[in-house]
Structure 1
Amino acid sequence: MPQIDFFYFFGSCYAYLSVMRIEKLAEEAGVEVRWRPFSVRDLMTEKGYFLRTQPTKMDYIFRDVERRARLHGIPFEKPPIWPTDPDQLANRAGIAAFIQGWGREYTKTSFRAWFDGMPLGAEESLNEILTSLGKEPQSIIDLANSPEIRERYNQETDAARQLGIFGSPTFAVGQEIFWGDDRLEEALAWAKGQHPALLR
């Protein structure tokens, strides 16, 4: 089965759109998806790129995400709390969840909670999210803070770094990368060998 790697960051507004769309589109396309949380924040810091210093761009992003959410029938009431997850705990919990086999559910629940007004990575948010999934919050938080999960998270970030990824979400088909939710359909077409750039 064709495969794409879905690199995303808990705290990326555009990743919310992809998280809500990718399963249905990938199933229809017959493409397998590997969900890979990574630290886009670390990569952006390395490049000296800080969105929080660009309020005009952030205003645009929030409005653009709202437009795209309504285009695709995805819930959007107001911009989420941003920036969020200061210690990247929600992201590391995502790594732990995937290792245990419930990462997709955790991801979708977390992004929905974020757009419902919860700050990602906050103790009360994680408690509510994890409890709703039938998990014991403190054990997952302890695991997310463990050296093993921190190292796995760093490895995923390094994999993104080696591919030249600089934003979230990014879809990778081998070494070919597609940045942004609006490139999801192109990435799926590439994985299937049906992208026009492959057919000329």
Structure 2
Amino acid sequence: MGEHYFSSEPTAASAPRRVRLALRDVQVGLATDSGVFSPTAVDAGTLVLLETVPPPPSTGDLLDLGCGYGPITITLARRAPDATVWGVDVNERARELARTNAASAGCAGVRIEAPDDVPDTVRFATIWSNPPIKVGKGVLHGMLRQWLPRLTADGVAYLVVQRHLGADSLHRWLDTEGFPTERLASRKGYRILTVRAKEAS
């Protein structure tokens, strides 16, 4: 499954369906399909993240890293309608779904892109992510090394990771990489990690 939803062009036969994102402040139907992450329901870790983190900055560039079909992207856009929300995913099918879902939800300030299509000059006031832990540490660490340095000086990232899939070891790794990290919450078997930008040397 990890390789499957992390593929740039999924080979699974299309099986469209709809799921519901039901939060206190955001309730929308979302189109999903096979070959993307958590196609039958919004992932439990994503829900923990969205129910736990502080409100996003009201303006600036915000990032949903590994956006899938867009539940985090849409929540960011609904909570910060004056911001530009970037949804980034390697999976082409997921990106198309995220574009469709953002448009259906009336989220005008959303840009869904492949990783290489985000301009290098963009810096993010916040990053929210349910990262693809199952792709392995090499890919995961490479992804975080690519995107966390793009936080603004006072920016902050929020990551949700299952406790039994290495949340605490990831916490330690982030600290050793120079990204000050704290545990914001622990709920339903998930950790929410708060990751801050590296201090200027």
Common fold, TM-score beyond 0.5? no
Higher helix share: 1
- Greater strand percent: which structure? 2
Higher RCO (C-alpha under 8 Å, 6+ residues apart): 1
